[in-house]
Amino acid sequence: MKRTSIIFLATALLFPIFLLAQRPQKPVLHARHWVAITGKPLGATAGAMMFQQGGNAVDAACAMLAATSTMWDVLSWGGETQALIYNPHTQKVIAINALGVAPTGATPEFFKNKGMDVPPAYGPLAAVTPGTPGGLFTMLAEYGALSLEAVLAPAMEMAEGYPIEAGAVRSIESNKDKIKEWPYSKKLFLPHLGEAHEAPQVGEVFRQPGLLNTLKKMVAAEKQALAAGKSRQEAIYAAYDRFYKGDIAEEFVRGCQEQGGLITMEDLANWRVYIEEPVKTTYKGIEVYKLTHWVQGPVMLQALNMLENFDLKSMGYNTAPYIHTLYQVMNLAFADRDFYYGDPYFPPEEPIKGLLSKEYAKERIKQINLEKNDPKAGPGDPYPFQGGKNPYKEYLENWANTSMGWAPAGPQQEREFMESFLAGTTSIQAADAEGWVVSVTPSGGWIPACIAGNTGVGMSQRMQSFVLDPKENPFNVLEPGKRPRATLTPGLALKDNKPYLSFAVQGGDTQDQNLLQFFLNVVEFGMNVQEACEAANFNSFQMRNSFGEHETKPGELLLNEAVPGWTRSTLKDMGYKLDFEPRTSGPINAIFFDREHGTFWGGSSNHGDDYGIGW
């Protein structure tokens, strides 16, 4: 028997001891009527306020989205929103696609002529059209119960002034040199200009008059429509029109173009939100739903299809064989993401049927080396599994040559890589006794954000997720009007046709890695939702970074400091370079639906400031 096999057996036998050592720092959030969880305590409070006014989980999710966007946690109103919603009346899961598009003039040639290999990470040229307002209006109009005025009330009060939190202050201060490049951002974010500390102080009342005025205009549009005899839904869409076609749009475009951006009035007016059917797979009888391939969501489904063929439970939680198996499977799924995922509303058509085929998954796992990491794991060919022929065979065969392998020049470059790889956002979870469930991972326009004129709205930075060369990914090449393939990926699972788990996490390319492990922690290892949210996850950096220069670090493995020495030693022998952090959970926010008792179990990781409220 080989040495690695002996160690695999030993670590598997020690699994129960290691599992019992994981003690959650936060309690489970028990509730009977409703649950509201998001990235900051004040944001969760905004959701709770909607429930107290008789709103449903969609109203609460929209209020949390508005509040966290106003708090810059870690997004703003100019970013992008997407959601999975379980409708108890239809007993169906629906998807909200509110991702912005590349503006007029944004072409590969435009950026290449500026000497860029990818669009920039920050500034007006990084911006796609805003999606969050449209996503919020659409969710609220179609599935909510309250008025826009009620749902925006907490955000409006916060825009008038709220005590700013430490995370936002640190981000402003550390990025102040970049912020000073844009006049509207400089005026807002640096109230102590010229002092040693130019950002707001922690706890200082942070005021956003421009944003407050924008929010007031949206509510005024709703009121005017209601006064004219319009329905609740029509009145909310009147606010939508004012943002994307009216005076708010005019000031947004003026402020964007003044600072060198490309977004036009036509770009805003032509953009739309899509209500879609999500993609799904089954794992041990559980239906798992994700957004389709305009984000990375199908990665988790592909991974589950492959992992069905392994006995994960017998390997043991976070043992060397378990970590190695998941790492290899994730790399195969992410390689497919990096080559095949893109905007489904633009040609060419992505081979999603083949990618999610169970037979394709069985073929993919034949490539896994159970003894060593494979640094050259690349995309497969799903076309035969949907009865077709791959039109990009030449690109596929040469894909490895397009990789941006990477070695840090020093601590600063290493820090910048990690910040881009883990590019933050927030997550939102809401559920109610009527049966509505909402899972959201909004993002974009994070600090340092370039603010569009006097709107107070920070512009998105999502343009950088495009590629400029079809050899890298023929489905995700930049084109005006097209959506970039984003990382944002909420999750929802049903068991016996009823909600079982709702879960989401921030963290760029680590999102579906952490959500996959969360799901397995519950399903395979019997953890409750809080234990699963805080559990010691691990992360691969072998896929191509969706931000910055799209670098990759084959064999790089981030482990939790609690992983024991014998596991570390085995992984090193298998070709891994190990890094360690004290908290590696995400942060994940989630809800478990206790059908036996008719209650909710809420979980919120100890990784950041995420917080939940229930009743």
Q: Can you say whether the dihedral through the CA atoms of 479, 480, 483, 487 is positive or negative?
A: positive
Q: Is the pLDDT of residue 207 over 90?
A: yes
The mean pLDDT value for 474-480 works out to: 98
Q: Token digits for 31?
A: 């509730």
Higher pLDDT, 137 or 416: 137
Q: Is the pLDDT of residue 422 over 80?
A: no
The mean pLDDT value for 362-377 works out to: 95
Cis amide bond preceding 448, omega within 30: yes
Q: Is the pLDDT of residue 516 over 50?
A: yes
Cβ atoms 285, 301 nearer than 8 A: no
High-pLDDT (> 70) share of the chain, %: 93
φ/ψ of 507, rounded to 5, equals 125, 35
Three-class SS state of 186 = helix
Other C-beta atoms closer than 10 Å to the C-beta of 229 total 8
pLDDT for the residue numbered 608? 86
pLDDT for the residue numbered 231? 98
pLDDT for the residue numbered 23? 78
The mean pLDDT value for 573-577 works out to: 96
Q: Is the pLDDT of residue 5 over 80?
A: no
Across all residues in the chain, what is the average pLDDT?
93
Q: Can you say whether the dihedral through the CA atoms of 159, 165, 171, 172 is positive or negative?
A: positive
What CATH code would you report for 3-29+276-427+485-614?
Answer: 3.60.20.40
Q: Token digits for 198?
A: 């130019």
User: What single DSSP character describes residue 453?
Assistant: G
Question: Which band of pLDDT confidence, cut at 50, 70 and 90, is reported for residue 10?
Answer: very low
Q: From CA 189, how far away is CA 173, in angstroms rounded? A: 9
Q: Is the pLDDT of residue 589 over 70?
A: yes
Nearest C-alpha neighbor of 13 from the set 314, 312, 311: 314
Q: From CA 472, how far away is CA 466, in angstroms rounded? A: 10
Question: Which band of pLDDT confidence, cut at 50, 70 and 90, is reported for residue 16?
Answer: very low
pLDDT for the residue numbered 22? 63
- Per-residue burial over 552-566, b if 16 or more Cβ lie within 10 Å, else e, is bbbbbbbbbeebeee
* Residue 370 CA to its chain's centroid (Å): 30
Q: From CA 128, how far away is CA 106, in angstroms rounded? A: 9
Lowest mean pLDDT among 15-19, 31-35, 329-333, 581-585: 15-19
How close are the terminal C-alpha atoms of the chain, in Å? 55
Q: Token digits for 61?
A: 């999710």
pLDDT tens-digit profile of 306-316?
A: 999 999 999 99
Q: Token digits for 182?
A: 């844009």
Can you spell out the DSSP letters for 6-22? HHHHHHHHTHHHHHHT-
Q: Is the pLDDT of residue 206 over 70?
A: yes
pLDDT for the residue numbered 7? 43
Q: Is the pLDDT of residue 577 over 80?
A: yes
Q: From CA 502, how far away is CA 493, in angstroms rounded? A: 6
CA distances from 421 to 139, 467, 506, 543 (A): 29, 16, 11, 10
Cβ atoms 439, 502 nearer than 8 A: yes
pLDDT for the residue numbered 586? 86
pLDDT tens-digit profile of 78-100?
A: 999 999 999 999 999 999 999 99
Three-class SS state of 482 = coil
* Residue that the structure tokens 């917080």 belong to: 611
Q: From CA 409, how far away is CA 263, in angstroms rounded? A: 35
Strands, E assignment, 214-362 = 274-276, 279-283, 286-290
Q: Is the pLDDT of residue 2 over 50?
A: no
Other C-beta atoms closer than 10 Å to the C-beta of 16 total 11
Question: Which band of pLDDT confidence, cut at 50, 70 and 90, is reported for residue 234?
Answer: very high
CA distances from 139 to 74, 81, 83, 491 (A): 21, 10, 9, 17
Three-class SS state of 289 = strand
Q: Is the pLDDT of residue 418 over 70?
A: no
Nearest C-alpha neighbor of 243 from the set 158, 137, 153: 137
Question: Which band of pLDDT confidence, cut at 50, 70 and 90, is reported for residue 122?
Answer: very high
CA distances from 459 to 80, 127, 186, 263 (A): 10, 6, 14, 10
CA distances from 541 to 148, 325, 398, 546 (A): 41, 15, 21, 11
Q: Can you say whether the dihedral through the CA atoms of 290, 292, 293, 295 is positive or negative?
A: negative
pLDDT tens-digit profile of 263-299?
A: 999 999 999 999 999 999 999 999 999 999 999 999 9
The mean pLDDT value for 430-446 works out to: 97
pTM above 0.75, yes or no: yes
Q: From CA 187, how far away is CA 330, in angstroms rounded? A: 43
Question: Which band of pLDDT confidence, cut at 50, 70 and 90, is reported for residue 166?
Answer: very high
Cβ atoms 39, 610 nearer than 8 A: yes
Q: Which helix (H) or strand (E) holds 566?
A: helix 565-573
